[in-house]
Amino acid sequence: MDIVYILKALADENRIRILNLLKNRELCVCDIEAVLGIKQSNTSRHLNKLKVAGIIVSVKKSQWVYYQLNDSTFQKFPFLSIIIGYEVEKINVCKDDLVLLEKLKASDRCCE
Amino acid sequence: MDIVYILKALADENRIRILNLLKNRELCVCDIEAVLGIKQSNTSRHLNKLKVAGIIVSVKKSQWVYYQLNDSTFQKFPFLSIIIGYEVEKINVCKDDLVLLEKLKASDRCCE
DNA sequence: ATATTATATGAGTATAATTGCATATACTCA
DNA sequence: TGAGTATATGCAATTATACTCATATAATAT
C-alpha cells in the first residue's frame, strides 16, 4: 500500500511544517532547519523520508540541495493537495512558520 | 496538531482496511477480526486508536460493540472522505476484504 | 591547497508503536 | 447460578521512529 507510506510520511508535526513551507516555493535544507529550529541532521532525515515516500523531490544546485513538492504525486493523490493546500492553513504553527520564512528570506541570512 | 493524530491513526495498513470495511456500515469487533485475520486484542487496539483520533465512534448493543465512521470528523476533515471513499477503492486487499465481508455476513457465522 | 559552507549518514540512545498471551469485565442464555 | 461469547486491557517482547553527536562528502571561495 503506497498510500500507507505517504500517510506515515505525513504523520509527523515537523514534516507537516516542512510541507507547508514548500507549498509555493523550493527551499534548501538550511532554510527549513532555520525556520523549524531543529538540527541539520534531523532536518535532512525528515526531508529524506518525504522524498522516499515520493511527496517531494530534490535538485542539487552548486552546494545546495533544493527540495520541492512532487507535482505528479500530488496529482495522483488529490487528498495531499487538500492537506497541504487547505488543512495547514488552519494550523497556527504553520502560519507562524510562513511569516518566519519571509523574514529569513528578506534578511538574506540563510544561504544567500 | 489534531491532524497529526488523525494521520498517525490512518498510517497503518490494518487500520486503512478497517476503515474500508466501515465505509457503508457498522461492524462489531469480531466481524473485523474475522475479515482481517488478526487477533482479537490487536483488532480492539486498532479500533481504539481510530476512536481516540476521533475517526470512528462506538455503540454498545447487548454483548457487542459496534463501530462506525464518525460523520462529524469526516465533515471537519474532507480529505478523510477522499481517502476512505476513493483511495481505498484502488487497493486490492481492500477490495478483497469487502468480498470477504459479504460472504461472512451472508453465512451468519460471526456474531449471533 | 586550505578553509568554509551545505548536506548526508553511521552509530548510539530514547521513545513510541505493534503484537501476542493471559486475564478481567460485561452481557446472554440455559 | 454457571457456561459461553464479546470486548478490553495489563504486561512483556519486538520492532519502528525520532533525535543527537560526530564525521564524511561535495562544492565554493580565498
CATH 1.10.3720.10 fits B2-106, yes or no: no
How far: A8 CA to D23 C1' (Å)? 29
Q: How far apart, in whole angstroms, are the C-alpha atoms of residue B57 and residue B65?
A: 10
Give yes or no for CB of A75 within 7 Å of strand C: no
Find and give the residue nearest to C22, measured CA to C1'. B41
Which cell numbers in the block locate residue A47?
A: 526531508
Number of residue pairs across A and B with CB atoms under 8 Å? 50
Banded model confidence at residue B107, pLDDT cuts 50, 70, 90: confident
- Please write the tens of the pLDDT for every residue from A37-72: 999 999 999 999 999 999 999 999 999 999 999 999
- CA of B76 vs chain A CAs: smallest distance (Å): 10
Residue B106 CA, nucleotide D18 C1', distance (Å)? 46
Distance of CA B46 to the CA centre of its chain: 9
Q: Where are the domains of chain B?
A: 2-106
pLDDT digits (tens, 9 = 90+) for B24-67: 899 999 999 999 999 999 999 999 999 999 999 999 999 999 99
Cα nearest neighbour of B93 on chain A = A1
| Domain A2-101: CATH class, spelled out | mainly alpha
